[in-house]
Amino acid sequence: MRVGGLSSREPAQAPAPAEQPSADMTSATNSGDSQAARPHAPLWATLVATFFGAGLLRPAPGSWASAATVLLWWLGSRGIAPSMQPAAAIGLAALAVAAGIPAATRVARATGLEDPQFVVIDEVAGQLITLIFVPVSWKSLLLGFILFRAFDIWKPPPVNRLERFPEGTGIVVDDLGAGLYALAVMHLLLHYGLLPR
């Protein structure tokens, strides 16, 4: 969301031509006014939107966030009974969506960017969706990571249209669509025995 409309103040007395600010100084001042006009994102929104800093990693912050999600799911699932793992994945994905949309909205407003690259909570949610009802093994986790990243980058229809939703909703829901595509492929492979359970 872009915040426009900079306020300009007229000086009480016009300066002499020699005292007028240079174009560079005027540009810097206007840039500073523009930054001041935007709301600052609260700390909680920045932490959630960047998945506690994973979105600041380079290159490909979305891939770093997906990899971190897979690793954390692999570690966390060890303490969850297999029968409860699907419910846990669904719950975590829902939590990422519920917290991610308002967080992404706040950060997008603060930066003036429609979809900041460092906002990666959408990748977290989409990656978790990919792993619902999928056995926790290194093969399934690796394949889930690859499939989700492929669909997230490709964005086949109608996923590519979901970005048109406003602010944080558009940032997050297109990755949910990519996660559903990846989930469907994972379960097809499981159904036909091409991926071990």
Show the tokens assigned to 143.
């394949």
Reported as a single tens digit per residue, the pLDDT across 33-42 is: 445 567 788 9
Residues 162, 170 contacting (CB under 8 angstroms): yes
CA dist., res. 41 & res. 182, Å (int): 32
Distance (Å) of CA 105 to CA 118, 145, 161:
13, 26, 18
Which sequence spans correspond to the domains of the chain?
A: 43-191
Residue from 55, 53, 184, 30 nearest 123 by CA: 55
- Is the predicted pLDDT of residue 16 greater than 90, yes or no? no
| Residue 160 confidence (pLDDT) | 81
Encode burial over 67-78: b for 16+ CB neighbours within 10 A, e otherwise: bbbbeebeeebe
CA dist., res. 152 & res. 149, Å (int): 5
| Residue 43 confidence (pLDDT) | 96
Reported as a single tens digit per residue, the pLDDT across 152-192 is: 999 898 888 887 898 999 999 999 999 999 999 999 999 99
Q: What is the DSSP string of the chain?
A: -----------SSPPPGGGSPPHHHHHHHHHHHHHHHSPPPPHHHHHHHTTTTGGGSSS-HHHHHHHHHHHHHHHHGGGS-GGGHHHHHHHHHHHHHHHHHHHHHHHHHHHT-SS-TT--HHHHHHHHHHTTT---SHHHHHHHHHHHHHHHHH--TTHHHHTTS-HHHHHHHHHHHHHHHHHHHHHHHHHTTSS--
pTM over 0.85: no
| Residue 36 confidence (pLDDT) | 53
| Residue 29 confidence (pLDDT) | 41
Show the tokens assigned to 193.
């025995």
Burial of 88 (0-12, 13-18, 19+ CB in 10 A): middle
| Residue 161 confidence (pLDDT) | 85
